[in-house]
Each structure stands twice: as C-alpha cells, then as structure tokens.
Amino acid sequence: MKLITFESGGTVMAGYLDGEQAVICDKGPDASRAVLRRIQSGTTGDWPELGRLDLSEIRLLAPIPEPLRDVICVGKNYHAHAAEFFGSGFDSSAKEEVPSNPVIFTKAMTSICGPDDVVNGSLDPTGSVDYEGELGVVIGRKAQRVGKADAMDYVAGFVVINDVTSRELQKKHNQWVIGKGLDTFCPIGPWIATADEIADVEAMELVTTVNGEERQRAVVRDLVFDIPPLIETITATGTLLPGDIIATGTPAGVGIGHTPPKYLQRGDTVSVSITGLGTLTNPIA
C-alpha cells in the first residue's frame, strides 16, 4: 500500500494510492496526522474507503507532515560519498574517511515539506545549498534493544527524502543540526510504501537529478551500515517510536563533490527517485 496525505479544494485528506486515483480514508482538520495514526495502530492495510479522486484533482503533501519527533539521520553512509565529503574540506568534525560506527544526527521536524513544495534556499545566508537524495525508513513498532536479526520486523515502510543542506553552516557549526535543519530543507514523499511492497530493499536504486542532469545513482546495498545495524545502534541506548523516520544517508555526487562545488541556485529543480517509492521533486527559491 502507498500511504499518502494530500489536499483538494482546501481540505486535507489521507489515504492511499490505487493506480491513478487517491483513495480517501480520512479528511478534515486532523487528517494531516492520519497516516501517522495508521502506522501507530499497526494496521496499514484495510483502511475504510470514503471516496476517490483522480490524481489530477489533488496536491500531494508530505506523507507525515507532522511527525512526532525530528528525523533521525545517518551521515557518511555510502563509501564513495564518505570519501568525497572527507576530501571536500567541509567535514570539520571527523578523523576517519569511512566511519567505523554510524554517524547519527537529527534534522528538525519543522524542516519537513512535501512534493513540489518550494525549498527556500534564500534562508541560507552563505549560498551553499546542496542536495542529498536518501532512502527513508519509517518505523512501525516501538523499538528498544532490537538486534539486527529482528530489525526489519520493526519497519513499517519506506519513503524518499532529500536531506537539503547548507554546507557552510554545516561546517561552521561543526554539529550538523543548524546546517541541515533550515525550514523547508527536508522534502519527503511522494508516498510511504509499506514494507510488503518492497521485495528486495537492498536492490532499490536511488537517482538524483538537478534540472534533469543526473548527479547521484546508487543501490541500497552500497550502504556502509545497512538498515538492521542502524536500528540496532539507535535502539541500543534509546527508543524508536512508531512513525519515526530514519534517513539512511546519501550516495556520492552531491554538489560539494564537484570542483568547483555545484550548489543549488534559485530556479533549480531537484528530483530524487527510488525504486518503488516514486519521485520527489522540489524547486529551489
């Protein structure tokens, strides 16, 4: 099932995709939290139908526009990107090229926006806005002290994320929260595909383009730390809750990997596609 939150005629609704139609399962003032509630209930299937709209009649929003907490992110988690970031001069806190343990940080929940929403690059006073296409993992069950062997049992689904970043702010503040937490700097969508929809997670391919030019291409199996050890690491000392989102890291090809860097400019369009998860497209302002 492809879970969606959307707007039509000024009303926020939630439900799922069925071909070229949006199936309405919830609508009204609290519908923006309906997908989150569905995941928290542990029953993403068999959602009662209230009606249908053609995709041409709706505007997709972030599937979970109002998450419980900040997005949990993983840094330098593809081998080639770890090398390009380490050699870029912007990696101000690391002493090793490829991390020996997962690098975990968070991205402000207030940075979330949806498909086709404008990323407000003008908020970055340094003019160093960069893209990072990533696979997002949505947690479906409360998870504490989860071992690798059982980790995937706690996954509700998957979603496309663009971890938009101000490189200069990221470098200046050492910790990455400010450089990655600007408003609108976390596009998510267009839908959450439930785990049963993805037959082979490791074979999923990620492609990022800027104005139609391919910049990133990788498969999930290229991760330094794949999903089970990430869940094991995060839950070893803390708790993941249903609806939490983990951004698993970006592959090589980001703007700072070029000489000179290819930062995003006003008028650019970034698209991130992942097998089975659709394409997340956002203009830059």
Residue 175: its pLDDT value, please?
Answer: 82
Q: Closest by alpha carbon to 89, among 270, 224, 260, 225?
A: 260
| Enclosing H/E stretch for 135 | strand 133-139
Q: Whole-angstrom Cα distance, residue 63 to residue 154?
A: 19
Predicted confidence (pLDDT) per residue in 112-137, tens digit: 999 999 999 999 999 999 999 999 99
Predicted confidence (pLDDT) per residue in 50-103, tens digit: 999 999 999 999 999 999 999 999 999 987 766 676 666 666 656 677 888 999
Confidence class of residue 142 from pLDDT cuts 50, 70 and 90? very high
Is the whole model's pTM more than 0.85, yes or no?
Answer: yes
Q: Is 194 helix (H, G, I), strand (E, B) or coil?
A: strand
Q: How far is CA 216 from the centre of its chain?
A: 15
Phi, psi at 171, each rounded to 5°: -70, -45
Q: Whole-angstrom Cα distance, residue 189 to residue 134?
A: 11
Residue 139: its pLDDT value, please?
Answer: 98
